[in-house]
Amino acid sequence: MATIMAARGQGLEQDFDFFVVVDFEATCVKGARIFPQEIIEFPAVLVDGATGRIESAFRRELTGIRQEDVDGGVDLGEALWLHGAWLKAATAGAGNKRSVRLAVVTWGDWDCRTMLEFECRFKGIEKPSYFDQWINLRVPFQAALGGGGSNLSNLPMGPVPPYFAWSN
């Protein structure tokens, strides 16, 4: 897997041992609102907080576009259980610490505050406590680039400081 190495701050104590980056996908209909929406994909990657290395990936397609996919998919409760088991297994080698410090990371608040929260409440599913707080990457991104747009096409022209060095 690819490795992301921080160009600055190597050797500094990190607040988190791992970052769990999630990006849910939900049912939608172009030009219409549907109720209730359901999470149909549950992708996540586990990033080592000290090295930036991608340690593991989790992808659970709960349902798909075809009815056969919907009928054959797992429900959100099972997906959350599987995700928790994946996290436990993936972080088991984190040394002899009593607990692993991890942070969920998203682009915006929609994944955790809106979609996961609503679907868990609607279906009476207990949401894992590690989803109660998250890092919204959109906030520092907009602060660094002056707010406004929320995608990479709004980056200023010219050199961008090398905050991360990517390698395979």
Cβ contact 34:28 at 8 Å: yes
Burial class (CB in 10 A: 0-12, 13-18, 19+), 130: middle
pLDDT value of residue 62: 53
Q: Tell me the CATH number at 33.
A: 3.30.420.10
Greatest Cα pair distance, the chain, in angstroms, is 52
Strands 18-22 and 39-48: antiparallel
**15 Cβ contact list (under 8 Å, min separation 6):** 49, 101, 103
Residues whose CB falls within 8 Å of the CB of residue 118, separated by 6 or more in sequence, listed in order: 36, 37
Q: What is the model's pLDDT at position 21?
A: 95
pTM over 0.75: no
Q: How far apart are CA 21 and CA 104, in angstroms?
A: 6
Distance CA 32, CA 110 (A): 18
Backbone angles phi, psi at 113, to 5 degrees: -75, -40
Confidence (pLDDT) at 11: 54
Question: Which residues of the chain, if any, have pLDDT below 70?
Answer: 1-13, 60-72, 95-98, 147-168
What pLDDT, on the 0 to 100 scale, is given for residue 38?
87
> How many domains does the chain contain in total?
1
What is d(CA 124, CA 117) in angstroms, rounded to the nearest whole number?
10
What is the domain range of residue 20?
Answer: 3-167
The one-character DSSP state at 85 is H
Q: For 8-38, write each residue's pLDDT tens digit.
A: 445 556 789 999 999 998 888 888 888 888 8
Closest CA to 40 of 20, 23, 57: 23
